[in-house]
């Protein structure tokens, strides 16, 4: 499955460019953080509960067995694995951030299956921008726990 992933910052033009780029490279799936809410409203886009991450299947032959939109992420089940597409706003408190990360971790644990976790740029499991040093350190440690948890869960 070929995936194009982008953070669009709610821009309509960015949406158009991401879609055109996905088509140009032959992507099967387009995953966007901070989608333009008007663009994804009432369409083929799958959105999380808050409208902060959205997925568009360009290849209609891909079989999705289960779709479960949650707050900040979307759980997708395919025949051989699961996928979590997530976005966590940089504009939330550390406590909110930690709660969302742990909700995601608990879902991964509860499903007890091989899963791919996708998020924003920079190699993080979720999109994060740091406002202050203390916040950065706390959020970084939380992500480190997620990375360690996911790695220790691998077979």
How many angstroms separate the CA atoms of 135 and 150, rounded? 22
Q: Sorting pLDDT into bands at 50, 70 and 90, what band is 145?
A: low
Which of 65, 60, 37, 53 lies closest to 5 in space, CA to CA?
A: 53
How many angstroms separate the CA atoms of 47 and 51, rounded? 6
How many CB atoms are closer than 10 A to CB 61? 6
| CATH numbers and ranges of domains, the chain | 3-152 (3.60.10.10)
Q: What is the pLDDT of residues 7-50, one digit of tens each?
A: 898 999 999 999 999 999 999 999 999 999 999 998 899 999 99
Q: What is the pLDDT of residues 62-76, one digit of tens each?
A: 999 999 999 989 999
How many angstroms separate the CA atoms of 117 and 12, rounded? 26
Q: What is the phi-psi region of residue 123: left when phi exceeds 0, alpha when psi lies from -120 to 50, beta otherwise?
A: left
- CA distances to 72, 93, 120, 121, 135 from 84, in Å: 10, 22, 12, 15, 25
How many angstroms separate the CA atoms of 83 and 46, rounded? 13
Q: Which helix (H) or strand (E) holds 91?
A: none
Q: What is the pLDDT of residues 91-142, one digit of tens each?
A: 788 888 888 888 888 888 888 888 888 874 333 444 334 344 445 556 666 6
How many angstroms separate the CA atoms of 115 and 133, rounded? 31
Q: pTM to 2 decimals?
A: 0.79
């Amino acid at each position: 499955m070929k995936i194009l992933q982008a953070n669009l910052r709610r821009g309509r033009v960015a949406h158009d460019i991401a879609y055109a780029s996905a088509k140009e490279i032959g992507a099967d799936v387009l995953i966007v953080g901070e989608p333009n809410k008007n663009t994804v409203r009432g369409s083929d886009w799958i959105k999380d509960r808050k409208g902060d991450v959205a997925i568009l299947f360009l290849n209609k032959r891909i079989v999705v067995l289960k779709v479960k939109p949650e707050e900040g992420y979307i759980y997708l089940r395919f025949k051989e694995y699961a996928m979590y597409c997530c976005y966590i706003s940089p504009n939330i408190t550390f406590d909110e951030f930690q709660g969302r990360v742990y909700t995601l971790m608990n879902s991964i644990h509860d499903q007890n299956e091989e899963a791919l976790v996708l998020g924003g740029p920079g190699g993080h499991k979720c999109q994060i921008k740091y406002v202050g040093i203390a916040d950065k350190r706390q959020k970084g440690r939380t992500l480190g726990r997620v990375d360690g948890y996911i790695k220790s869960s691998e077979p």
